[in-house]
Amino acid sequence: MYKVAVIGDKDSILGFKALGVDTFSVFGKDETRRTIDTIARDDYGIIFITEQLANLIPETIERYNNTLIPTVILIPSNQGTLNIGMDRINKSVEKAIGTNIL
Amino acid sequence: MKVGRIIKVSGPLVVAEGMDEANIFDVVNVSDNKLIGEIIEMRGDKASIQVYEETTGIGPGEPVYTTGEPLSVELGPGLMEAMFDGIQRPLEPIRELAGDFLTRGIEVPSLNREKKWYFTPSINVGDDVVEGDIIGTVQETSVIVHKIMVPPGVAGRVKTIEEGEFTVTDSICLVEGEKEVSIQMLQRWPVRKGRPVKEKLNPDEPLITGQRVIDTFFPAAKGGTSAIPGPFGSGKTVVQHQLAKWADAEIIVYVGCGERGNEMTDVLMEFPEIKDPKTGESLMKRTILIANTSNMPVAAREASIYTGITIAEYFRDMGYSVAIMADSTSRWAEALREMSGRLEEMPGDEGYPAYLASRVAAFYERAGKAVCLGSDNRIGALTVIGAVSPPGGDISEPVSQATLRIVKVFWGLDASLAYRRHFPAINWLNSYSLYQNKVDEWMNENLDEDFSKNRIMAMSLLQEESGLQEIVRLVGRDSLSEGDQLKLEAAKSIREDFLQQNAFNEDDTYTSLKKQNLMLKMVLAFYNEGKRALDNGVYLNEVTELPVRERIARAKYLAEENIGDIENIINETSTAIDELISKGGILNA
């Protein structure tokens, strides 16, 4: 059974704790990268990460693009969305079926 | 002896009748110009003679004189540093006599008859000697001691032996056996007959050539046989020259057989200037050149190979390690083909005579490590390295195939590598050495116990690379996992930082075994450390962009006395990787 993780700043991810999801509060580029790489090796199936943090480490996000597990999904933080998460979903949809149906 | 008469002339082939007193392989003098020839076929009283000189102007009716002797070479002091033609005529004295190009019918003794050598006996009157025993020495050049041996077939008690200055034909020793024999420094030996040895041994010691791809991956053995096939321009001659320069044989015989004249000139110009790493003296002092360049008579090309190997055998009999380079045996085979065609023999594959394979085999079989004749059981080795030039680089042609059946080491030169400026262009995927096991043992014992392990690892990386390259060509590099991409990087590093070697760089042209071992460790260390970094979550581009890689690439240009630096590079690699891991590696959960 795979687990679900959420990575983000403390304020954004606090609510997820209530759902029973493992939360990792991080700060800064290096810590984010190391956290995501570390938990990717554990049995986490889905990793949610806030857009603000993902923006700092594009090549790390890129690494998990082509892997099946874990899936890295970008979510807005409490400061609002940067729209890159939705862009990625649109792109994935386009790639998969050839046109944007969303 | 009866004089024959020419009835037919066809290029270098002359047929004469009235030769019933002659025997096959006798040397004859053709016409009153006294052209040197050799009988290669007898039918009744008709002899077919291959003439070792130009036959222009010879016609039927002219006389043929038999000497009754087989084609022989003169062996004795004076061979070293000399340059001979295919039938051992000395080219330097001929030039003084007749100018730059060979003139017909010229007669100059192979070894200088006037020059006096100082002979130092090593045995005393009253000693019993057998064939092959060393009776004394002559300091031929500053690095080569020429040992004077009792000729094969002679044994008995020494009656007199003298010390002092003698010419090669002076009698220096009387041996009283069944009959009294006077020994001179000069011996004659028929070229087509191998010189006898007591016992042949299995070659087990590597011939160190200082060429990384050869010594590490495809080693030759002292007393072994190797072939270098390759298309035009792939660097056969440069490899041969490199081997002649740096191989750790004590004596080199270089046979330039049917190749360009200026390649021999290169040897003549370069060798005297290069210092032998072992002796510190000029390389020429241990080198004998046999030249039958492409503009010299074809028949003599056939003989040049035998002349070379007979001289080499003579030095092997003294207990030396000798290497003979033949460049190229394909020209020699073509000479055989030309003679065979003129003899109207039934042609085999591609017009080569049916006996091509057996001739090639007979030549290579004269190599070997052996216990020489003589009571001191000294061991000599004769290594043969032959270049083969298959037309179009396709080794499925008869000469390459006949050669590959015999030789134990195959250095396949590759035109595409040469085109990519990867030199020496020895293809690591199809070359092989059957001495590998023996040499591995030797290396592990004498160099480093991990040597064969490292070599196998490097080779398997190179092999994996060629498989991965195919995937990359199909779907692109990004589809590979980071581990595989690191393998590609490591294999590239092996190719560029280890296999490629610059023959024209002072420090890179010769690499000692110690340096080779360290360099191999260094490139593998990069792979192992890189793998460790990836396992710890470091990204590939961080590993490949390490500044230490530049030092790895430059390590081959380190002079021999600075090879300690390579260990520093290995240490630097691990520190740099440690740093990467502590900075960007995964956290210890």
| Closest C-alpha among B228, B220, B217 to residue B461 | B217
Handedness of CA B98, B100, B104, B108 (dihedral sign): positive
Q: How far is B479 from chain A (nearest CA, A)?
A: 9
| Closest C-alpha among B259, B257, B250, B234 to residue B308 | B257
- CA-CA-CA-CA dihedral for B265, B268, B269, B275, to nearest 10: 150
Residue of A27, A31, A34 to mutate, testing the B interface (most B Cβ within 10 Å of its Cβ): A34
Q: Phi and psi at residue B14, in whole multiples of 5°?
A: -125, 135
My answer on whether omega of the bond before B424 falls inside 30° of 0, hence cis, is yes
Q: Phi and psi at residue B493, in whole multiples of 5°?
A: -65, -40
Residue of A32, A33, A62 to mutate, testing the B interface (most B Cβ within 10 Å of its Cβ): A33
Closest residue to B586, CB basis, from A37, A59, A63: A37
* A-chain residues near B583 (CB < 8 A): 30
Q: How far is A37 from chain B (nearest CA, A)?
A: 6
* A-chain residues near B539 (CB < 8 A): 59-60, 63
Residues 6+ apart with CB under 8 A from A34: B537, B584, B585, B586, B587
Identity of residue B432 = Y
Determine, for residues B586 and A34 on separate chains, whether the beta-carbon distance falls below 8 Å. yes
User: Residue B589 has what pLDDT?
Assistant: 42
Q: How far is A22 from chain B (nearest CA, A)?
A: 14
User: Residue B233 has what pLDDT?
Assistant: 85
Determine, for residues A35 and B587 on separate chains, whether the beta-carbon distance falls below 8 Å. yes
**Are B170 and B138 a contacting pair, CB within 8 Å?**
no
pTM of the predicted structure, to 2 decimals: 0.89
**Are A47 and A39 a contacting pair, CB within 8 Å?**
yes
Residues 6+ apart with CB under 8 A from A58: none
Q: Listing from the earlier edge strand, what are the strands of the sheet with B128-129?
A: B128-129, B156-161, B171-176, B180-184
Residue of A37, A43, A61, A62 to mutate, testing the B interface (most B Cβ within 10 Å of its Cβ): A37
Determine, for residues B585 and A41 on separate chains, whether the beta-carbon distance falls below 8 Å. no
**Are B290 and B118 a contacting pair, CB within 8 Å?**
no
- Give tens-digit pLDDT for A27-68: 888 889 888 988 888 889 999 999 999 999 988 888 888 788
Q: How far is B477 from chain A (nearest CA, A)?
A: 14
Q: How far is B215 from chain A (nearest CA, A)?
A: 41
Determine, for residues B586 and A38 on separate chains, whether the beta-carbon distance falls below 8 Å. yes
Determine, for residues A38 and B539 on separate chains, whether the beta-carbon distance falls below 8 Å. no
Dig out the tokens for B480 from the structure.
Answer: 């590979």
| Closest C-alpha among B486, B506, B488, B490 to residue B556 | B506
Determine, for residues B539 and A42 on separate chains, whether the beta-carbon distance falls below 8 Å. no
* B-chain residues near A33 (CB < 8 A): 584
* A-chain residues near B586 (CB < 8 A): 34, 37-38, 41
Closest residue to B589, CB basis, from A38, A60, A63: A38
Q: Is B114 helix (H, G, I), strand (E, B) or coil?
A: coil
User: Residue B588 has what pLDDT?
Assistant: 56
**pLDDT tens digit at each of 589 positions of chain B:** 789 999 999 999 999 999 988 999 999 999 998 999 999 999 999 999 999 998 999 999 999 999 999 999 999 999 999 999 999 999 999 999 888 888 888 889 999 999 999 999 999 999 999 999 999 999 999 999 999 999 998 999 999 999 999 999 999 999 998 889 999 999 999 999 999 999 999 999 999 999 999 999 999 999 999 999 999 888 898 999 999 999 999 999 999 998 888 888 888 888 888 888 778 888 899 999 999 999 888 889 999 999 999 999 999 999 999 999 998 899 999 999 999 999 999 999 999 999 999 999 999 999 999 999 999 999 999 999 999 999 888 899 999 999 999 999 999 999 999 999 999 999 999 999 999 999 999 999 999 999 999 999 999 999 999 999 999 999 988 888 889 999 999 999 999 999 999 988 989 999 999 999 999 999 999 999 999 999 888 889 889 999 999 999 999 999 989 999 999 999 999 999 999 988 877 765 4
* A-chain residues near B537 (CB < 8 A): 34, 37-38, 41
Closest residue to B589, CB basis, from A30, A42, A63: A42
My answer on whether omega of the bond before B398 falls inside 30° of 0, hence cis, is no
* B-chain residues near A28 (CB < 8 A): none
What does each C-alpha distance from B275 to A17, B283, B320, B510 come to in angstroms?
Answer: 78, 6, 20, 12
Determine, for residues B583 and A59 on separate chains, whether the beta-carbon distance falls below 8 Å. no
User: Residue B531 has what pLDDT?
Assistant: 94
H/E stretch holding A32: helix A29-41
User: Residue B360 has what pLDDT?
Assistant: 95
Can you spell out the DSSP letters for B435-471? THHHHHHHHHHHT-TTHHHHHHHHHHHHHHHHHHHHH
> What secondary structure, in 3-state letters, does B361-400 show?
HHHHCCCEEEECCCCCCCEEEEEEEEEECCHHHCCCCHHH
| Closest C-alpha among B210, B224, B220 to residue B439 | B220
Handedness of CA B499, B503, B507, B510 (dihedral sign): positive
- What span, in angstroms and rounded, lies between the C-alpha atoms of B220 and B385? 9
Q: Residue B81 region, left (φ>0) first, then alpha (ψ -120 to 50), else beta?
A: left
* A-chain residues near B579 (CB < 8 A): none
Residue of B482, B586, B588 to mutate, testing the A interface (most A Cβ within 10 Å of its Cβ): B586
Q: How far is A35 from chain B (nearest CA, A)?
A: 7
CA Rg value for chain B: 28
* B-chain residues near A38 (CB < 8 A): 537, 586-587, 589
The structure tokens 């195959």 sit at B410
